């Protein structure tokens, strides 16, 4: 699965990953972000999520678009054993795209075009 972070340059985008537990046991996951641009992604509400039986859990991923080139990383959710039950490891591809560029400000100056 791919999670896309699209927006304007310098925009901060938060995506929420929904995890469903369809089993009758509690599942727990530790999340890490790895890859070329992993430092640009963060997990603002922490890197752990516990999902009760037959319920849903969420993990937030935050990204600030700092460069024009697309950023890429991988979100890995590693299952922890809870009551002897171990869930599957989950991976998500994280990609960014700059949709527009708004100037942060303008500077006016006067200067001669040519000087001997």
β-strand pairing of 2-8 with 90-100: parallel
Instruction: For the chain, give the percent of residues with pLDDT over 90.
Output: 68
Mean pLDDT (whole number) for 31-53: 94
**pLDDT reported for residue 15:** 96
Tell me the pTM: 0.82
CA distance 61 to 5: 10
Domains and CATH numbers, the chain: 2-100 (2.60.40.10)
Q: What angle do CA 4, 10, 11 make, to 5 degrees?
A: 50
Mean pLDDT (whole number) for 7-23: 92
Mean of the per-residue pLDDT values for the chain?
90
Mean pLDDT (whole number) for 52-74: 94
DSSP bridge pairs for 74: 34, 93
Mean pLDDT (whole number) for 25-47: 93
> What pLDDT band is residue 85 in, cutting at 50, 70 and 90?
low
- The DSSP output letter for 53 is T
β-strand pairing of 41-42 with 12-20: unpaired
C-beta separation of 79 from 28 below 8 A = yes
Mean pLDDT (whole number) for 32-40: 95
Question: Is residue 16 classed as helix, strand or coil in its secondary structure?
Answer: strand
DSSP bridge pairs for 20: 56
**Tokens for 23?**
């089993």
Mean pLDDT (whole number) for 70-96: 88
């Amino acid at each position: 699965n791919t999670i896309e972070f699209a927006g304007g340059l310098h925009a901060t985008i938060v995506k929420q990953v929904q995890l469903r537990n369809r089993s009758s046991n509690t599942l727990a996951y530790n999340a890490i972000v790895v890859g070329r641009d992993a430092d640009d992604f963060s997990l603002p509400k922490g890197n752990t999520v516990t999902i009760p039986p037959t319920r849903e859990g969420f993990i937030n991923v935050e990204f600030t678009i700092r460069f024009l080139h697309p950023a890429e990383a991988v979100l890995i959710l590693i299952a922890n054993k809870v009551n002897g039950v171990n869930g599957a490891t989950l991976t998500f591809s994280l990609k960014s795209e700059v949709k527009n560029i708004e100037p942060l400000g303008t500077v006016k100056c006067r200067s001669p075009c040519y000087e001997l």
